[in-house]
Amino acid sequence: MPRQPELSDTMDVNGSSTVQAGVRDVGRLGLRMAWGLLRGRGRLDGGSVMCAWAREMMARAPEATGLRIAVPGFSIDLVGDRRRSEQILSGRPGEEYGAGRLKVQAMSFLAPNALTIADGELWRSLRPFNEQALGTGGAHPYAQVFLDGVRRSFARPVSDRDDVQSAMAGAMTSVVLGEPEDEDARQAARDVTALFGVVQNPVRRKLLGRFYRGRRTRLYALLRRRWRDANARQPTVLGMAPRDVRTKAEDSLLEQIPHWMFTFTGSGTDLLTRTLAMVTARSDVRRRVIEECAAAGPLDRAETVQRRLDFTRACVLETGRLFPPVTRTFHHPKEKVGGPEVAHYFPLLQRDDALGDTVHSFRPERWLAPELDEAARASNLFLRGPRACPGKDLILFVCTAAVARQVGELALMERASRLSRDPLPVSFPEREARFTAPEASR
């Protein structure tokens, strides 16, 4: 007898149903991962294995919009329908859905009032603050100063992700803290990277969290000093902070800053590294970026980066669609106390074959068309609606400027890469991010 699909309880108040995945199903996923690792001789496209397994599970019941993964001690609802995901993400935080409990527990170690986990009134009070400081919705008023810092940090060719992260840390101190050559600022970059390592690792957080309290105290002491010294004329994001809240709820406002900082050395580093890998792996794309940079005008002017590097920017967006640096987010339905978390796994939603024949292909030009295609519209690189990343425009500007500097001016090249061919893997092959440059650029 064929196995009948098992439908769980509804996922939420809108009646969306899920297919149940139990211990045996999860065990099969584990075996597939192990076989993929063995067959790939240590290289595993885990995202592809995960997506294929989830789609096969949900195919048991065509009407299902998700997958409930339930094993002893753990239960989670994986959203499998893009429209359902967009519906959840489009709501204001705290109305139907709040931040996931595990996400709240993790981020609270460093910043319990961070916007990324805020709900309700706290979110409504913090969102405008973040938007004004980060220049959401357009060119940042201090874009030229920030560009100068980015160009200084990326003045030499990078060779791997570590180099990119080091350069991004320098750019971050220029943008967020000012005085990039100041040792306190460099120490803050190291502290925030180490602290987010604890935030993202529950085992380390539980066993070793107390040993990081000194770093946390040191980081906030520096942020408090820079915050109080900042003024409207200082060309940093702290200098852009709204004046009317400078003395109100200072601790809550300070807790927004570590996330800004880590965007540079975390997800921003991954996005830039992967973009450089994609651009340099394809000779036609690399040539077009170089040609665009040569024709655009002075690359040390913010206006050039903002208005005349459309293809270079499209390469960043397309890389983020294919290989999002943040692959998942979690929410909790407010009406279900003690119920399972709701998880959005972006590769599952963005790499669906139903989105078109080029969904697994690197096509920057899709972002230049008068109307975005289905694959581009499915991208959750910066989320959207009320939950959209307030630093989207700023980090996109930084990454575009860095690609122009490294490829357009320093003629960065890849060493050897599997990324030159379509279709592309779902998981980014980290070993492929290796670069070189002509001797004259060194």
- The span from the CA of 299 to the CA of 436, in Å, is 21
Residue 346 CA to residue 323 CA, distance in Å, equals 9
Tell me: pLDDT of 378 over 50: yes
Tell me the pLDDT tens digit for each residue of 187-227.
999 999 999 999 999 999 999 999 999 999 999 999 988 88
Between these two residues, 3 and 283, which has the higher pLDDT value?
Answer: 283
Residue 288 amino acid letter: R
pLDDT-wise least confident of 24-28, 314-318, 334-338, 341-345: 334-338
Could you report how far apart the first and last alpha carbons of the chain are, in Å? 67
pLDDT computed for residue 392 by the predictor: 97
pLDDT at 179 over 80: no
CA neighbor of 316 nearest in space, from 269, 359, 260: 269
Q: What is the pLDDT of residue 249?
A: 73
45-62 pLDDT, tens per residue? 999 999 999 999 999 988
pLDDT value at position 7? 45
- Cα separation, 275 vs 264, whole angstroms: 14
- Overall residue count recorded for the chain in this entry: 442
- The amino acid at residue 323 is F
Question: Residue for token digits 């005349």?
Answer: 308
pTM exceeding the 0.85 threshold for the entire prediction? yes
Q: How are beta strands 97-99 and 18-21 bridged, if at all?
A: unpaired
Q: What is the pLDDT of residue 343?
A: 94
Rounded-to-integer distance, Cα 381 and Cα 360, Å:
16
pLDDT digits (tens, 9 = 90+) for 257-304: 999 999 999 999 999 999 999 999 999 999 999 999 999 999 999 999
Distance CA 58, CA 39 (A): 26
Residues near 370 by beta carbon (within 8 Å), at least 6 away in sequence: none
Crossing angle of the two packed helices 161-172 and 257-265, in degrees rounded to 10 = 150
Query: pLDDT of 102-117, one tens digit each?
Result: 899 999 999 999 999 9
DSSP 8-class letter at 102: H
- Please indicate whether residue 417 or residue 379 has the higher confidence score (pLDDT): 379
The Cα 288–Cα 278 span in angstroms is: 13
CA–CA gap between residue 272 and residue 164 (Å, rounded):
8
Give the pLDDT of residue 440: 58
Q: Report the DSSP beta bridge partners of residue 413.
A: 436
pLDDT at 106: 93
Strand 328-333 relative to strand 341-345, pairing: antiparallel
Q: Please give the C-alpha separations between residue 127 and each of 122, 136, 262, in angstroms, as whole numbers.
A: 9, 10, 18
